[in-house]
Structure 1
Amino acid sequence: MRCLLIAVPALLASTVPPVASLRVNGERSTFSVAVEESASTGYDIRIKCVSSCAQPIDFSEAIGDVPMGLFSRDQDDLVFSLWSSGSAYRVRVWQVSDTGVRKVVELSSRGRPDFLTDGAGRSAIRTYEADSGVEPFKPVLRSFIGGRFVVAP
């Protein structure tokens, strides 16, 4: 009877639904992206190839911030996420492809960031920077150029 009581909580813990989830299609592969609660770190983001995988891909990263959103724009194989970290927002972006997962950028913003397309049709993120809580926010636009987000000239 004691073994059954130990097994039931373990079974229930593995069936906890993710906080956020998304399916993303690569060139050939399909990926599952999920944000899950973690007792040790707060949250984990997990990106796993689930269909037509050229190679096994199972990426995970622990994140101590609180998740607010997870989405893809079907452009450049990018997965965007927005997190709350107390006095600032955090933007984290990963590039997901048939060959693997790589973190593209992690940005902070004092105001809620904007996810948009720049004048050249590229993915872009506008963050709002300030040295203190009393200064006006300065908008900074970064465009996805050459595989990374850079302040556009």
Structure 2
Amino acid sequence: MTNWPERNLLEEAAALLAALQARGLTLATAESCTGGLVSAALTAIPGSSATVLAGYVVYSNDAKQRMLGVPASLIATHGAVSEPVARAMADGALADSGAGLSVSITGIAGPGGATADKPVGLVHFAAARRGGPTLARHHVFPGDRDAVRGASLAEALRLLAEAGEVTS
């Protein structure tokens, strides 16, 4: 991974942080397949500590349960890569961090881990806002592991902007 994250994503992260700061919103991230890339992009921006309160890297199911309060039954029923788990991760990050906004990412970056129902590149996202609805979406991104993770970072920034009702 050269020049990671890409310069345009860092510019997007900076614009998002400025808009969130102007609105007085704080945020937390809950990341699985991105392994902290969203937090890394956000905290690469000087002054990000005014907005970014916490970042959770919850790669294992146990970490999702212990750190974010994702019910084991939810993972057993839907799998770790699912909309219900993404929503629970975002809600857990919001509750634990005290932030006003959170984003979660859970997916299959590859090259392994895929099933017939859940291909490589499938990523579920959720964004929760205190006092507002939790937004969720999913994508199947093409490409290798780096491409899936990079596309996931970009989508997480877009979803944060949407949930925070800002333009970045």
Q: Give the TM-score range, shorter chain.
A: 0.3 to 0.5
Length-normalised TM-score, structure 2: 0.33
Indicate the structure (1 or 2) with the bigger Cα radius of gyration: 1
Higher relative contact order (CA 8 A, sep 6+): 2
Identify the structure with the greater strand proportion: 1
Identify the structure with the greater helix proportion: 2
